Amino acid sequence: MKYRINEDLKLIREMFELSQEEMSLSIDIDKKTITRIENDENYPTNETLEKIYNYAYKKGIKINKIKEMMYKEENPKSKIIFHGSKNIIEGEISPNYGRANNDFGNGFYCGESIEQTTSFVSRFQDSSIYILKFDNKDLKCEFFDVNQEWMLAVAYFRGKLKEYEDNEIIKNIIEKVKKSDYVIAPIADNRMFRIIDRFIDGEITDEQCKHCLAATNLGNQYVFLTEKATSKISILERCYIAKAEREFYYKQKEEDVNDSDNKVKFALIKYKREGKYIEEILK
């Protein structure tokens, strides 16, 4: 799927109240090229795409955020979600799109905001964001919060609790997920999984783990687990991420990591005498 550069270029130019000639001077692109792109007669090179979108972002137009707001306003009865991709999505969206050792195994993973999704792919040069519309009619959803059940679910599906597959608590969690078409749950990045690892290894209690994870909360993700669920997703648009935009979100994520690390240390101390260890829970 190509970017809607013809629409975007005209929008950017008109928002800055620039003529095609003035725009060509601003971004060092020939005026004829500007005209052809806007008339959808020519699709630009990667270099030209970067010049256009990077110029807009540096000048304060966060076009992807604007699109998020517009799509949500235009589709009040549908859920608008976002998928960050290192590559182009080719063919039909499938629940087999993700890796087997993700938070809930194989599935098509999406975020609930464009900022959240962009931050997760900001370090990849050719990444892009897909804006999606989702119809949840006749689908079974399982919702998880930051609690013991969610921690055990993530640990299991990431391959850490295979020896407890016959435990009733784990069996119930597996059954709940397998019966679902899609799951809504907190995102667990590698940093959060290291905290869960400490809980699984018996170093910290479930209460310590829960409060540490709450301190690093990254928002919710939508995980589509069945063909029935992915068939209810339609792609509205593929959005370009300019270099300046990627750098902003990457830096912001690094700052958030430093801030949440201090919250984690606080939680480990404050709740060290509360909760249960993994052996007590799965005895």
Contact (Cβ atoms closer than 8 angstroms) between residue 258 and residue 216: no
Could you read off the pLDDT of 60-72 as tens digits, one per residue? 999 999 999 999 9
Q: In what order do the strands lie in the sheet with 220-224?
A: 141-143, 182-186, 220-224, 108-111, 79-85, 128-134, 233-240
pLDDT over 90 for what percent of the chain? 66
What's the average model confidence in pLDDT over 89-105?
83
| Cβ 271 vs Cβ 208: under 8 Å | yes
Condensed to tens digits (0 to 9), the pLDDT of residues 213-262 reads: 887 767 899 999 999 999 999 999 999 999 999 999 888 777 766 666 77
pLDDT value at 18 more than 70: yes
CA gap 130, 85 in Å, rounded: 8
Rounded to the nearest integer, the mean pLDDT of the chain is 90
Per-residue pLDDT at 165: 87
Which pLDDT does position 32 carry in this prediction? 95
Question: At a CB cut-off of 8 Å and minimum separation 6, what does 10 contact?
Answer: 38
Return the pLDDT at 258. 65
Q: Is the pLDDT score of 79 beyond 90? A: yes
The answer to which of 18-22, 115-119, 187-191, 195-199 has the lowest mean pLDDT is: 187-191
- In terms of DSSP bridges, do strands 141-143 and 182-186 run parallel, antiparallel, or are they unpaired? parallel
Asked whether residue 163 carries a pLDDT value surpassing 80, the answer given is yes
Rounded Cα distance between 154 and 1, Å, is 32
**Which H or E element spans position 133?**
strand 128-134
As given in the structure block, the two tokens for residue 261 are 């690390």
pLDDT at 260: 65
pLDDT band at residue 24, thresholds of 50, 70 and 90? very high
Locate all alpha helices (DSSP H) within the chain, ordered by sequence: 5-15, 20-27, 31-38, 46-58, 63-74, 114-121, 148-157, 168-178, 190-200, 206-215, 227-230, 243-270, 278-281
What's the pLDDT at 170?
94
* Distance separating alpha carbons of residues 70 and 62, to the nearest angstrom: 13
Tens of pLDDT, residues 193-227: 888 888 999 998 999 998 888 877 678 999 999 99
Q: What is the mean predicted confidence (pLDDT) over 92-108?
A: 84
Among the residue ranges 42-46, 62-66, 120-124, 173-177, the one predicted with the least confidence is 120-124
Helix (H, G, I), strand (E, B) or coil at 223: strand
What domains does the chain contain, in order, with CATH numbers? 1-61 (1.10.260.40), 76-281 (no CATH)
Express as a percent the part of the chain with pLDDT over 70. 96
* The pLDDT of residue 257: 64
- Whether pLDDT at 19 is above 90: yes
pLDDT of residue 267: 83
Q: Is the pLDDT of residue 99 over 90?
A: no
Q: Is the pLDDT of residue 98 over 80?
A: no
- What is the length of the chain? 283
Among 275, 263, 234, 228, smallest CA distance to 1 is for 234
